[in-house]
């Protein structure tokens, strides 16, 4: 059997050899196929460079030059002006930036640079204000009029050398690639065949041609992934019968009487969608998204009581002791006068108490369970579990969800998230779930005014404002960042316990999913830095700015009882100020708390800041969030500016995603990135939307089962069959 030409080792390419092959291996390039499908990091378009003598102030233009001067000046009121002077032939052109002193670190004398933007004539010289910048590689400026893809390099490998190797691969091997995407799909998407796309990507005649070739390569990557998700969703709907949980008018009326408020239109729509799933006889597999404070827990309670009314059991699983306890308090209080039997099941129960609870769950005596991961331990057996509600889905994978399945019956599954998820992630990480979104907030929610506090003078005024509010009877949170010990991860590092929503290993040695100390599940002591920051601030405020007020303290190193007492004292108004770490970011509801001061706010992620802010604005008084920070990194400043500018959690989710990317947002770095080869969920969102639509239409209509899709179907199963638990044959 002849070898696949695309598997030819790279050292067989002319101009490569063994030494350069080792350098290519450092880039993950081992075969000709690897080289052909290498995605450039960007493209350098030298076909539209304008000579300085031909510039005008009417349109966006690009100039090329050599850096000859780098200058930074301090202006009045703390502002800065940075400028870079380029020499272009016999002319000079300047780029300027206000309040971006960091930009000067990117320039050195002698660098070859492109400035793009709309220039203005100032003091007899053309000037670009905040231009787009491209740095040229060695030799680029000598190829005038060309469109040059640029690739990531490794030490010892030059750009022109890599381009030569790639050209050799394209010219000798591109005609061997197998195009698995049928012509009708390419026609719908307006894309070229694969061989042509590879040539356009690496050897483009124009920038437009490069973009077309690039889109085709990225399209294939995302299209195969979306087909896998579509097949996974179809398999879930086809193969998993579930008990019917009909909602009659009488049941609906009795459930709604338990709530001291009327549902919003968004909540009513969520009830309709969930009720339709529960009554269908097919297992619900739905993601419920809403902004902070939009009433997700009420909808979860409605669904759970629907299950109880139908005579089956239901469970709500939360990621932390704090959140599980908060859910339990809310549900237990709402059901105080009902006959629903219920319990809280966490890892904190005594052995004797746990034994009794497990017996009552197994016999069906307990109808409704609230808990942490303790509810999916091997010794937990439900008599007939009809509905599982999972809060904070991104901390639990499919392997954990699967344990809810009882013999012969699959429970309905409703997943909730604490804050909105960026759309790109709903189409990938959660792409196999149906989606319900609540966008409106309950009436009476007070807007939260958010301000950044930088200078000492501003801080003095802020503390004076806090004192006035406290004397008026309000309460305040003071939130401290987790300050890591030397050698540990940074403040915004992703949580290593967070899992992809596909099968992932648990404890490899034992198969147990028991969390480690410091995990959200146990709330056991975490890094000493977690407590140290809060305790230090508590001591300073108690003796200083807030010495006349009653302060409480809560952090991750407190035992469960002390933490509960501190929370209860604040909730009951016994303490006026609660100094805490982020343990209060979810599940804490104190309507009289109208103030939040976040210390070193630039140490927090944007979604986390928004979630923290959601703890206030829950009563009838106006609320205020004060972000204490020094001037930080550009990324930190962008986070705080975004939080200050909007209270829309959906918009904040998108900004956070753009700043941090999917790896940090969902914590996938410890468990492997998304199984994508070249696509980026941040960069390629439009292509993602397009592939989603086409893939799901093909699977939903049955067209994907036709023989013409055979090679593509085999490729999808090869890439994602095991990961997504797809049956052979789709």
Provide the pairing of β-strand 112-117 with 132-135. antiparallel
Average pLDDT value for residue range 83-101: 90
Model confidence at 673, in pLDDT bands (50, 70, 90)?
Answer: low
579 lies in some domain:
yes
> Reduced to 3 states, what is the DSSP secondary structure of residue 619?
coil
pLDDT in tens, 116-129: 889 999 888 999 99
Residues 573-580 have a mean pLDDT of: 95
Same domain, 608 and 465: yes
Contacts of 550 (CB under 8 A, 6+ apart): 574, 575, 576, 577
Please give the average per-residue pLDDT across 478-496, as a whole number. Answer: 49
- 2, 111: one domain: no
Residue at which a domain ends, from 141, 167, 200 = 141
% of residues, the chain, pLDDT over 90: 50
Q: Is 392 found in the same domain as 332? A: yes
- pLDDT score for 325: 84
Listed in sequence order, the DSSP H helices in 62-193 are 159-173, 183-189
The DSSP call for residue 410 is P
- Token pair 């197998």 in the structure block, residue: 178
> Among the three residues 621, 646, 671, which one is the final residue of a domain in this structure?
646
- Segments forming the whole domain that contains residue 357: 249-438
Whether 350 and 419 share a structural domain: yes
Dist. CA 415–CA 682, nearest whole Å? 24
Q: Are 122 and 7 in the same domain?
A: no
Report yes or no on 356 lying in a domain: yes
126, 55 Cβ separation under 8 angstroms: yes
The encoded tokens of residue 302 equal: 């409605």
Residue 210 reports pLDDT greater than 90 = yes
Q: What average pLDDT does this structure show over 242-269? A: 93
Instruction: Tell me what pLDDT residue 702 has.
Output: 94
Which tokens is 355 given? Answer: 């034994």
Identify whether 500 is part of a domain.
Answer: no
Provide the pLDDT for residue 260: 87
Tell whether 531 and 475 lie within a shared domain: yes
Nearest-angstrom CA–CA distance, 142 and 134: 15
Among candidates 30, 31, 105, 102, which has minimal Cα distance to 67? Answer: 105
pLDDT band for 239, please (50, 70, 90 cuts).
low
Instruction: Give me the count of residues in the chain.
Output: 730
Q: How far apart are CA 505 and CA 463, in angstroms?
A: 48
Binning pLDDT at 50, 70 and 90, where does residue 506 land? very low
H or E element at residue 448: strand 448-453
Output the pLDDT for position 162: 93
* Alpha-carbon span 614 to 401, nearest angstrom: 28
- Comparing CA positions, the residue from 298, 316, 327, 305 lying closest to residue 389 is 316
pLDDT number for residue 597: 97
The total of structural domains in the chain comes to 4
Measured from the Cβ of residue 542, the count of other Cβ atoms closer than 10 Å reads: 16
State pLDDT tens for residues 354-375: 999 999 999 999 999 999 888 8
Higher pLDDT, 325 or 499: 325
Confidence of residue 467 (pLDDT cuts 50, 70, 90): very high
Q: Residues 246-269: what's their mean pLDDT?
A: 94
Task: Report the pLDDT value the prediction gives residue 503, as an integer from 0 to 100.
Answer: 32
Q: Find the range with the poorest average confidence among 166-175, 253-262, 442-451.
A: 442-451
Question: Does pLDDT of 526 surpass 50?
Answer: no
136-165: average pLDDT: 81
**Which of 15, 401, 327, 336 has its CA nearest to residue 171?**
15
Q: Please check whether residues 134 and 268 belong to one and the same domain.
A: no
pLDDT value for 141: 60
What is the C-alpha separation between 628 and 610, in angstroms, rounded?
15
And the tokens for 723?
């990961």
Angle at alpha carbon of residue 457, lines to 456 and 461, rounded to 5°: 115
Residue 220 scores a pLDDT above 60: yes
**Residue 303 near residue 416 (C-beta atoms within 8 A):** no
Cα angle: 88, vertex 93, 99; to 5 degrees: 135
Asked whether residue 273 is assigned to any structural domain, the reply reads yes
Say whether pLDDT at 392 is over 70.
no
Question: Among residues 36, 25, 161, 167, which one has the least CA distance to residue 11?
Answer: 25
Q: How confident is the model at residue 401 (pLDDT cuts 50, 70, 90)?
A: low
pLDDT (tens digit per residue) in 324-335: 888 898 899 899
Burial of 180-213, coded b for 16+ CB within 10 Å and e otherwise, reads bbbeebbeebebbebbbbbbbbbbbeeeebbebb
Closest to 462 in 3D by CA, of 667, 574, 629? 629
Confidence of residue 25 (pLDDT cuts 50, 70, 90): very high
Q: Is the pLDDT confidence value at 684 over 90?
A: yes
Lowest mean pLDDT among 46-55, 92-101, 549-558: 46-55
Residues 363 and 469 in one domain: no
pLDDT tens for each residue of 699-726: 999 999 999 999 999 999 999 888 777 8
Q: Is the pLDDT of residue 514 over 50?
A: no
Instruction: Give, in degrees to the nearest 5, the angle at Cα 391 between 640 and 675.
Output: 75
Residue 465 lies in a domain: yes
The more confidently predicted of residues 603 and 13 is: 13
User: Are residues 629 and 551 part of one domain?
Assistant: yes
Query: Domain containing 267 — which CATH number?
Result: 3.40.50.300
As a dihedral over the C-alpha atoms of residue 188, residue 192, residue 194, residue 199, rounded to 10 degrees, the angle is: -160
Measured between alpha carbons, how far is 580 from 552 in angstroms, rounded to an integer? Answer: 8
Which residue has 């356009």 as its token pair? Answer: 200
What is the average pLDDT across 174-179?
96
Domain of 69, CATH number, reads 2.40.50.140
Give residue 105's pLDDT: 85
Q: With pLDDT > 70 as the criterion, what percentage of the chain qualifies? A: 86
The larger pLDDT score, comparing residue 512 to residue 383, is at 383
Q: Does residue 205 lie within any of the structural domains?
A: no
Domain boundary among 586, 616, 646: 646
Mean pLDDT (the chain) is: 84
pLDDT band at 472 (very low <50, low <70, confident <90, very high): very high
Distance CA 573, CA 226 (A): 51
Q: By mean pLDDT, which of 131-135, 151-155, 349-353, 634-638 is the weakest?
A: 634-638
Residue 585 confidence class, pLDDT cut points 50, 70, 90: low
- CA atoms within 13 A of residue 662's CA, in its CB half-sphere: 26
556 and 474 within one domain: yes
Answer yes or no: is pLDDT of 671 > 60.
no
pLDDT reported for residue 517: 32
Could you give phi then psi for residue 712, rounded to 5 degrees? -70, -40
pLDDT of residue 46: 78
Give the contacts of 478 (CB within 8 A, at least 6 positions apart). 537, 541, 577, 578, 579, 580, 596, 597, 599
**Helical H runs in 614-706?**
634-645, 649-666, 685-701
Asked whether residue 726 is assigned to any structural domain, the reply reads: no
Q: For the residues 175-180, what does the mean pLDDT come to?
A: 96
Let me know whether 419 and 472 are in one domain.
Answer: no
601 and 557, same structural domain?
Answer: yes
pLDDT tier for residue 675 given thresholds of 50, 70 and 90: confident
70 belongs to a structural domain: yes
Sign of the four-CA dihedral 578, 582, 588, 591 = positive
Whose tokens are 């000037």? That residue is 127
Can you tell me the mean pLDDT for 627-642? 83
Model confidence at 662, pLDDT cuts 50, 70, 90, reads low
3-state helix, strand, coil in the chain (%, to 5): 40, 20, 40
């Amino acid at each position: 059997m002849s070898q696949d030409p695309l598997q030819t080792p790279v050292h067989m390419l002319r101009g490569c050899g063994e030494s350069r092959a080792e350098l290519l291996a450092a880039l993950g390039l081992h075969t000709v196929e690897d080289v052909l499908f290498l995605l450039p990091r960007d493209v350098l378009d030298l076909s539209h460079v304008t000579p300085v003598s031909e510039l005008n102030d009417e349109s966006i233009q690009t100039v090329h030059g050599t850096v000859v001067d780098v200058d930074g000046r301090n202006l009045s009121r703390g502002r800065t002006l940075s400028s870079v002077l380029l020499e272009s032939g016999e002319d000079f052109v300047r780029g300027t930036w206000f309040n971006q002193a960091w930009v000067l670190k990117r320039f050195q004398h002698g660098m070859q640079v492109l400035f793009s933007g709309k220039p203005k004539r100032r003091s007899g010289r053309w000037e670009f204000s905040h231009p787009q910048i491209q740095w040229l590689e060695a030799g680029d400026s000598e190829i005038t009029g060309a469109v040059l893809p640029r690739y990531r390099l490794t030490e010892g490998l030059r750009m022109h050398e890599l381009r030569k190797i790639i050209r050799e691969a394209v010219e000798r091997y591109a005609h061997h690639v197998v195009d698995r995407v049928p012509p009708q799909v390419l026609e719908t998407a307006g894309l070229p065949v694969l061989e042509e796309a590879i040539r356009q990507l690496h050897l483009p005649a124009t920038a437009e041609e490069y973009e077309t070739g690039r889109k085709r390569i990225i399209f294939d990557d995302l299209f195969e992934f979306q087909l896998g998700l579509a097949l996974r969703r179809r398999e879930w709907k086809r193969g998993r019968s579930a008990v019917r949980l009909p909602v009659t008018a009488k049941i609906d009326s009795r459930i709604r009487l338990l709530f001291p408020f009327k549902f919003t239109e968004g909540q009513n729509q969520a009830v309709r969608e969930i009720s339709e799933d529960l009554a269908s006889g097919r297992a619900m597999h739905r993601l419920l998204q809403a902004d902070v404070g939009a009433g997700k827990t009420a909808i979860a309670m409605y669904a759970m009581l629907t299950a109880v009314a139908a005579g089956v059991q239901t469970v709500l699983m939360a990621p932390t002791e704090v959140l599980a306890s908060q859910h339990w308090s809310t549900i237990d209080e709402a059901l105080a006068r009902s006959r629903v039997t219920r319990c809280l099941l966490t890892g904190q129960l005594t052995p004797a108490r746990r034994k009794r609870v497990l017996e009552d769950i197994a016999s069906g005596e307990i109808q409704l369970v609230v808990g942490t991961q303790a509810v999916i331990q091997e010794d937990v057996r439900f008599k007939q579990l009809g509905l599982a509600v999972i809060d904070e889905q991104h901390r639990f994978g499919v392997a954990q969800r699967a344990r809810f399945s009882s013999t012969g019956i699959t429970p309905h599954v409703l997943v909730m998230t604490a804050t909105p998820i960026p759309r790109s992630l709903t189409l990938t990480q959660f792409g196999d779930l149906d989606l319900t979104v609540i966008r409106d907030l309950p009436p009476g929610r007070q807007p939260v005014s958010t301000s950044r506090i930088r200078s000492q003078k501003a801080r003095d005024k802020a503390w004076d404002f806090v004192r006035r509010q406290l004397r008026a009877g309000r309460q305040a949170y003071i939130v401290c960042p987790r300050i890591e010990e030397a050698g540990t991860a940074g403040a915004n590092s992703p949580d290593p316990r967070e899992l992809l929503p596909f099968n992932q290993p648990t404890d490899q040695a034992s198969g147990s999913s028991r969390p480690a100390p410091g995990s959200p599940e146990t709330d056991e002591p975490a890094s000493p830095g977690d407590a140290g920051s809060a305790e230090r601030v508590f001591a300073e405020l108690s003796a200083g700015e807030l010495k006349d007020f009653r302060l409480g303290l809560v952090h991750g190193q407190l035992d469960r009882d002390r933490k509960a007492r501190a929370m209860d004292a604040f909730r009951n108004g016994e303490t006026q100020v609660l100094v805490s770490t982020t343990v209060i970011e979810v599940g804490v509801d104190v309507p009289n708390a109208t103030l939040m001061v976040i210390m070193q706010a630039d140490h927090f992620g944007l979604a986390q800041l928004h979630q923290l802010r959601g703890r206030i604005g829950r009563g009838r008084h106006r609320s205020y969030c004060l972000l204490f920070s020094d001037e930080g990194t550009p990324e930190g400043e962008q986070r705080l500016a975004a939080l200050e500018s909007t209270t829309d959690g959906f918009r904040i989710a998108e900004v956070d995603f753009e700043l941090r990317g999917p790896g940090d947002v969902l914590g996938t770095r410890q468990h492997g990135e998304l199984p994508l080869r070249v696509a980026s969920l941040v960069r390629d969102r439009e292509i993602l939307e397009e592939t989603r639509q086409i893939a799901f239409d093909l699977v939903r209509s049955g067209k994907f089962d036709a023989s013409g899709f055979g090679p593509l179907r085999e490729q999808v199963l090869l890439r994602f069959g095991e990961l997504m638990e797809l049956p052979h044959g789709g």
